[in-house]
Amino acid sequence: MDSSAPTAEEHTGLHQDSVAVASGRPDREPGSAVNPPVVLSSTYFGQGQVTAGDRSYGRYSNPTWDPFETALAELEGASEPALAYASGMAAAASALSLVPPGGTVVMPNHSYGGTVGLAQRLADDGAFSLRLVNIADTAEVKAQLAGGGQPAGGEQLAGGGQPADLLWVESPTNPMLEVADVSAIAAAAHDAGALVVADNTFSTPLVQQPLGLGADVVIHSVTKYLAGHSDVVLGAAVTSDPQLRERLLTHRSMHGSIAGPFETWMALRGLRTLALRVERSQANAAELASRLQRHPAVAAVRFPGLPDDPGHERAKRQMSGFGSIIGVEMAGGAAAADALVGRLKLWLPATSLGGVESLIERRRRHTNEPETVPEPLVRMSVGIEHVEDLWADLDQGMR
């Protein structure tokens, strides 16, 4: 019998749920383990000339990375192996390194705070010019990509009006849950000669595949849904372009932003249950968003799964679900939001998202959160607990 592990081609036709379980397995040798091992080594045996693909030193490769990078690439529909990084921010920094010196980046004003903060620092240091946009406003994004747009207030356009070199996409955005028309703005970016990087952390490849919508590179904070248990800090980047992958790999190796083998092994273990966790957390989120919308203590609910949400129709077109993050504005303002978080017993008052447990926080408690994020906005990362228990806790906290 053929003892080799199935290839991506042999997984063709499988549902994504099955790919998450089947991909990245060792060869099927009789008596061998069904799970890949953790390899804890900083160096490898070798002599003579080192050529491309040879293992020589732990900063360049580790056998533990390979199955995770294979599985994630397969889930994202990429033809090249993914790249694992020490954190989501390390992956973001690597992606931003693709911008040529003096180039221009167009980025959502409501992106992950660490990403915007890094981009602003790089812009302040003269690495590139930065244009922040409402990513849900397709006309505004297209204008800024072409270099002919004008920011609100009439300020001088960053980059002197030149076309953009990179479009950064978050959809849905963090924490406002705005939904971009990814295909339209990716096409506009390519028309302007720009690369497209999409942060797919919120959606996971089970809900959205940005490469199929026109993105050139997809990044993840693996810390969140992919690992899924709030016990790993890890990042990843995925592309089908071998030249872009080589540039990203070089940046990872030269900057030392490599993933630990044990963390990568844990992330692969978490990936095996991704489909179950996403299915349950999305169902919980949809039910809670509907109930929250009718609660007298709530002023507004942001969730793409609600039929009257501004991003609902776009999300239906380009996503296979609506995610597990809810934004809630409390009617009583910031004080009511803080009081809610303080009263909860099952929900955990903590930042981050995507774990099996439900997390909640008022976003403006972070000093780097944009002023355009409402003070009473509470972000809920819905976990896999029983929905009635989650609702009972929220309800008593809002009374």
Report the catalytic residues: 59, 112, 199, 224
Q: With contact defined as beta carbons under 8 Å apart, do 213 and 318 qualify?
A: yes
Which residues neighbour 47 within 8 Å (Cβ) at sequence distance 6 or greater? Answer: none
One DSSP character per residue, 240-307 reads: S-HHHHHHHHHHHHHHT-BPPHHHHHHHHHHHTTHHHHHHHHHHHHHHHHHHHHT-TTEEEEE-TTST
Tokens at 75, concatenated: 């889930």
* Token pair 């490898």 in the structure block, residue: 44
Q: With contact defined as beta carbons under 8 Å apart, do 230 and 352 qualify?
A: yes
Which residues neighbour 390 within 8 Å (Cβ) at sequence distance 6 or greater? Answer: 284, 288, 346, 347, 358, 382, 383
Q: Where do the H-state alpha helices sit in the chain?
A: 16-22, 65-76, 88-96, 113-124, 138-146, 182-191, 242-255, 261-271, 274-293, 312-318, 333-343, 387-398
The letter for the amino acid at 264 is T
